[in-house]
Structure 1
Amino acid sequence: MLSVEGPLCRVDVGAREVHTETVDSVLESFIGGRGVATKLAHDRLPFDADPLGPENGLFFTTGPMQTSNMSFTGRMNCTGISPLTGGLLSSNAGGFMSRNFADTGYAAVELTGQSDDLLIVHVSDQEVTFEAVPNLVGATVPETTDYIEREHDLSSEHVACIGPAGENRVRFASIMTTESRAFGRGGLGAVMGSKNVKAVTFQGDSRRDVEIPSLQMDVHREAATADHIMKEQGTTSVTDLANEVGALPTRYFSELRFEGVEGINGDRVGEKKYQKGTCSSCAFACKLPTRDEERGVETEGPEYETVMAFGSNCSVDDIVDVMQSNELCDRYGMDTISCGNAVAAYLAATDEFGNADLVHETVENIARREGDGDLLAEGIDRFHEELGVENWTVKGLDFAAHDGRTLNGQGLSYATANRGADHMFTTMYAWEYPLVPQDDALEPTGLDGKAPHVVRQENARALEDCGIVCRFSRSFMTPERFEGLFDADYDDLLAVGSRTVELERHFNNQRGFDRADDTLPYDLPDFEAALDDYYEQRGWNADGTVPDDSVAASTGD
């Protein structure tokens, strides 16, 4: 089975100590990316660690495909205990950093401890150095990357950094790379801020020689030549469909259709796109560099989730206003979904839906923890009672844009996902809109028979995150191509995904998560029966916990 190669580099930022160790057995069992990071975190982090304490760690990992030139591989993984959910969480960022990370020769880099001084950690194939940067306290993401390029001749493609939100421990702060790409959901930027690390840089000339079958070029060629609407509109191409079927959250989840959708849909984003955008080595080029010259707004995006959070959910119907919100989040380093939903909750509480100026002001206040922004920075699960709004979260993570009240299998997935209400854990919505061929589609309503599908898609998405292969490769990376590229039967590859999901769940169980956390703020037909079926399919206990002997058997411990 194809897997990433190289040692683990452990960096204690408090003690300023660096150690390397061989983790070959972990790499061989979990391929790379999310799987390797999950196994390392499960075995090395205390189950009772404070997410914002020195015992928590951040695991940056890449996969074997980052040594290739194949499309859909310009991504990498970061894993740690989330300050938003309290559980183990992995986040995946695109851009151009993954291959610079691979050039260090490491399979994984672990940040642990807590520094007294604000630091940049420079990781190369020769050494790891620590640079105190008191001059960067409060610096934005562009200011930070400009400094690193000026002082070290390293572009933003070598940098993972935080903005003021991460320094201020905003619980949904992002780690940013290539300036506008984010390890977004779950607040790993706050973890990095709690360690007093402003940035990590990666460079070298020691990329491992992993033999990737020539099949990679077939995928790359098809990605380059495919006629696909995402090349023009990115994920916003689904906006009108979501609105039409009643799956577009509106006015803080109180409605499912937005009458102003034409002002924020894919056509509007396409009109503002001024050039192609992509990730490293990817010919699919679905990114969205956009600009509005009249108002002087320039950003990358917004993607569909941001259009929902800062558009329909805030009752804002001008795409330029959404673009501005997107740019503010990138500048300060915050997840656009969680930030937009927090702002939408604030608008609901203050009866200010549609007030775009207040939206932008509130985003800045959250990043700086000023005024009401200090409360909103805690996330909906922690502030909803004080504001008197409903708690639209699962496991502390607020909802994504494909609404489970209409797409019921997606709703079940929100409940079972270890990360909480995250659409990428299964992408069940694709089968229920549907965005897949009609022969493969599922009826959106009802849960009968959907638990096995949720399990399979959780495993498949985890496999992609181990690879690491982009979600948008769905039409190109068939099971047969996975088998050819990774030199293993597809069922064996799915088993790697299954072990990854199970280790995440087991870690979270030790932190107190169980069936009571696999819930939704709305009713779905036969939900409890579907949940029973899900646990049975997984071989887990009826209370949502993983048997200890199951973990030992699946990991060889």
Structure 2
Amino acid sequence: MRHAKGPLLTVDVGERTATETEIGDLLAETVGGRATATALAHERIPFDAEPFGPENRVYLSTGPLQQSQMSFTGRMNMTGLSPLTEGLVSTNAGGYLSRNFVEAGISVFEVVGESDELLAIHVTDDGVEFEEVPELEGATVPETSDYMADHHDLGPEHCIAIGPAGENLVRFASVMTFDSRAFGRGGLGAVLGSKNVKCVTFEGDADAVPEVDVEIPNPPEMDIHREAATSDDRMRRQGTTGGTEFINDNFSLPTRYFEGYEFEDADQIGGNAVEEKKYKKGACSACAYACKLPTRDEERGVETEGPEFETVYAFGSMQGVGDIVDVMQANELCDNYGMDTISAGVTVAAYLSSEDEFGNAALAQEITEKIARREGVGDTLAEGVERCHDDLGVENLTVKGMEFAAHDGRVLHGQGLSYAVANRGADHMYAGMLSLEYAGELDPEGTLGKADVLVDQENHNAFRDTGIVCAFGGDYVTEERLETLFDADYEDLLAVGKRTIERERHFNNQRGLDRADDVLPYEIPDFEAAVEEYYEARGWNDDGTVPETTDAVASSGTAVPSDD
């Protein structure tokens, strides 16, 4: 099976040390990306670790496809113990970082410890340098990028960075790259903030480390690139917002902190409205699909990248805001301050509900800034809905502490089941049942009989995040092409995903998460029976725990080096 190459680079920011460890055996088993990072996290993060403690670790990892110039591969994975969910979380982001990371000659970057001073870390194929950057305290993400460009001639395509939200330990703070691309869900930006790491840069010369080269076959690489370049998909013009009106009219667009299922101004914040503000094409590294959304409104002086559909939902319909420029402004605030737009927008919507202020975009943006800086009520809201809903007097509409994505499980019952059992919580990318239910390939009504499909979707997506392949490349990077690209049978690729899901679940089990956490804050048909079907399909215990005899658990540690 084709896999990433290169050592694990561990940086202890408290000790200011950098150590390389060969992990060839682990990569051969786990391929790269999310699977490799999850295996490392399972063995090297103590089960009783505190998310903001020095013993927590953050992993930035690449897959073998980042060695190619194929469309849909300009992405990287990040994994760690989430301060929002208290379990393992993996998230990925696009942009232009992945090729610079590969050229530094490593496959995984690991951060542990806690620094006394605010740090920038510089990783090259020659080694690691630590730079104290007290002048960047409180800096926004673009300000941090500008500093790196001015002082080190390294642009945002070389950087990961946190904004004020990460420094202030906002539980849904994101890690940003290329200024506007987010490792968004789960709060890993706050974990870096707890370690006093402001940014990390990567650069190198691939020719200087030829032993990490991965040969990717040109076909189907070039076929995929050509098809991406010539596609007439609406997503290339409108990004994920292209389905806003369809979802609103035919399913549900959650509105006013879930009070409603339909938003009267959906057409004012949907795909056509976004496309009207788009002023040029945008892409990720090496991708001809170019589905990004550089947008501007000259009248109000707003320029940003996006918003995508999840932001349109979180800062639009959920808040009762029907002006696309207001949503653009909120999107830019979150990018600059370094916050997940879904959790931030939903949390602000909960606040607007408590104050009977739906539709007040100016107040929503004021509160968003207060959250990032933990000022006033923002200090309470920075904890997320699960921890602040009692103070607000609103319902706790989360799963495992994670705020819901847009795709409404009250209507899409398979997606609702997916939210409940996902190790990550209420995130739409974990299994993607929504796409099957929107398309009519799976009846949105009911939960029974969907467990096997859900398991396959979770396993597929876990491998997708391992390879790493963009979620929007599914129509192009087919099962047959995956087999060629990774030199393996598709079932073997799914097995990598399966072991990843099992390791995540086992880690969370050791932290006390079990069936009692696989719940929803609303009712859908036959839910308890469907959860039982899911556990049976997974081969798990009735209490939602992974048997110790499961292959992924029993084999843990055999290919994972210790740093003791």
Does TM, scored on the shorter chain, surpass 0.5? yes
Q: Is the 8 A contact 2:83 2:171 kept in 1?
A: yes
Kindly indicate whether residue 390 of structure 2 is the aligned counterpart of residue 385 of structure 1. Answer: yes
User: Which residue of 2 is the match for residue 199 of structure 1?
Assistant: 199
Kept after mapping to 2: 8 A contact 1:97/1:177: yes
2:505 equivalent to 1:501: no
Quick one: distance in 1 between partners of 2:340 and 2:451? 29
1:416 to 406, 416, 421: 421
Q: Which of 198, 209, 212 is 2:213 aligned to?
A: 209
Q: 1:333 aligns with which of 325, 338, 355?
A: 338
Aligned to 1:348: 353
The AA in structure 2 aligned to 1:243 is N
Say if 2:172 and 2:187, in contact at 8 Å, map to a contact too. yes
Equivalent pairs, count:
552
Specify the alignment match of 1:428 in structure 2.
Answer: 433
Amino acid aligned to 1:304 = F
Q: Distance in 1 between matches of 2:392 and 2:203?
A: 46
Counterpart Cα distance in 2 of 1:374 and 1:366: 6
Which of 359, 374, 384 is the matching residue for 2:364? Answer: 359
Q: Is the aligned partner of 1:95 residue 2:105?
A: no
What one-letter code is carried by the residue in structure 1 that aligns with 2:354?
A
Deviations 1:296-337 (A, max 9, x none): 000000000000000000000000000000000000000000
AA aligned opposite 1:542:
D
- The residue aligned with 1:397 is 402
1:246 offset after TM fit, Å?
A: 3.1
Q: Deviations over 1:9-38 (max 9, x none)?
A: 100000001111111111011110000000
Paired position in structure 2 for 1:23: 23
Offset at 1:478? 1.2
Q: What does the per-residue CA deviation read over 1:30-77, in whole Å, with 9 as the maximum and x for residues that have no partner?
A: 110000000000011100000001000010100000000000000001
Identity score, percent: 64
Contact 1:479 1:490 (C-alpha < 8 Å) held by counterparts: yes
- Alignment-derived partner of residue 535 in structure 1: 535
What SS does the aligned partner of 2:429 have? Answer: helix
Contact 2:502 2:553 in 1 (8 A): no
Secondary structure in structure 2 of the residue aligned to 1:423: coil
8 Å CA contact 1:499–1:555 kept in 2: the answer is: no
> Is the CA contact (8 Å cut-off) linking 2:415 and 2:434 kept in structure 1?
yes
Deviates more, 1:171-180 or 1:237-246: 237-246
Cross-structure match for 1:3: 3
Deviation at 1:200, TM superposition (A): 0.4
Q: In the alignment, which of 269, 293, 302 is matched to residue 297 of structure 1?
A: 302
Contact 1:307 1:322 in 2 (8 A): yes
CA distance in 1, matches of 2:555, 2:519: 27
Q: Secondary structure at the match of 2:252?
A: coil
1:399-548 paired onto structure 2 within 5 Å: 399-434=404-439, 441-548=441-548
Q: Distance in 1 between matches of 2:415 and 2:215?
A: 37
Q: Secondary structure at the match of 2:521?
A: coil
Quote the offset at 1:247 in angstroms: 1.8
Equivalent of 1:254 in 231, 256, 259: 259
- CA deviation vs aligned residue, 1:96-137 (integer Å, no higher than 9, x gap): 001111111101010000000000010111010000001000
Secondary structure, aligned partner of 1:549: coil
Structure 2 residue matching 1:241: 3-state secondary structure: helix
Aligned to 1:106: 106
Which residue of structure 2 lines up, in the alignment, with residue 371 of structure 1?
376
Distance 2:169 2:26 in 1: 31
Q: Which runs of 4+ in 1 moved over 4 A?
A: 553-557
The amino acid of 2:296's aligned partner reads R
Write the distance in 1 (CA, Å) between the matches of 2:365 and 2:448: 43
- Residue type at the aligned position of 1:244: D
Pairing partner for 2:292 from 287, 291, 309: 287
Q: Which amino acid aligns with 2:51?
A: P
Partner Cα separation in structure 1 for residue 56 and residue 213 of structure 2: 32
Are residues 1:243 and 2:248 paired? Answer: yes
- Could you say which residue in structure 1 is the equivalent of 2:40? 40
How far is 1:283 from its partner? 0.4
Do the aligned partners of 1:515 and 1:544 also contact (CA within 8 Å) in 2?
yes
Whether the 8 Å contact between 1:250 and 1:313 is mirrored in structure 2 is yes
Answer yes or no: is the 8 Å Cα contact 1:82–1:186 preserved in 2: yes
Q: Give deviations 1:376-423, integer Å, cap 9, x for gaps.
A: 000000000111101110000010000011111000000011110000
The answer to whether the 8 A contact 1:499-1:554 is kept is no
The answer to whether the 8 A contact 1:119-1:132 is kept is yes
* 2:234 equivalent to 1:229: yes
Structure 2 distance, partners of 1:466, 1:477, is: 14
Superposed CA offset, 1:436-475 (max 9, x none): xx6xx01111112111111000000001000000000111
Between the aligned partners of 1:89 and 1:171, the Cα distance in structure 2 is: 13
5+ residue gaps, structure 2, are 559-564
Distance in 2 between the 1:555 and 1:222 partners? 40
Structure 1's unaligned 5+ residue stretches are none
SS of the counterpart of 1:274? coil
TM-score by length of 1: 0.98
Where does residue 136 of structure 2 map in the other structure?
136
Q: 8 Å contact 2:43–2:556 — kept in the other structure?
A: no
Q: 2-side partners of 1:363 and 1:203: how far apart?
A: 34
Contact (CA 8 Å) 2:142, 2:179: kept in 1 or not? yes
2:323 to 315, 318, 327: 318
SS of residue paired to 2:296: strand
**Paired letter, 1:61:** S
In structure 1, what is the Cα distance between the partners aligned to 2:539 and 2:477? 28
Measured after TM superposition, the shift of residue 184 of structure 1 is 0.4
> Hey, what's the Cα distance between the residues in 2 that align with 1:486 and 1:368?
44
Matched with 1:271 is: 276
Partner of 2:561: none
Q: Residue 91 of structure 1: SS of its match in structure 2?
A: strand
Kindly indicate whether the alpha-carbon contact (under 8 Å) linking 1:103 and 1:204 is maintained by their aligned counterparts in 2. Answer: yes
In the TM superposition, residue 553 of structure 1 has moved relative to its aligned partner by: 4.3
Is 1:70 the equivalent of 2:74? no
Give 1:552 shift: 3.5
Residues 322-378 of structure 1: per-residue CA shift (max 9 Å, x gap): 000000000000000000000000000000000010011001100000010000000
Q: Conserved in 1, the CA contact under 8 Å of 2:314 and 2:345?
A: yes
Q: 1:555 Cα shift?
A: 4.8
Q: Give, in whole Å, the separation in 1 of the partners of 2:372 and 2:164.
A: 6
Distance 1:341 1:246 in 2: 19
Tell me, yes or no, if the aligned pair for 1:169 and 1:190 is still in contact at 8 Å: yes
Q: How does 1:122-161 map to 2 (within 5 A)?
A: 122-161=122-161
Measure the CA separation in 2 of the matches of 1:264 and 1:456: 34
Aligned to 1:55: 55
The 2-side partners of 1:338 and 1:306 are apart by 10
Check conservation: 1:176, 1:182, Cα contact below 8 A.
yes
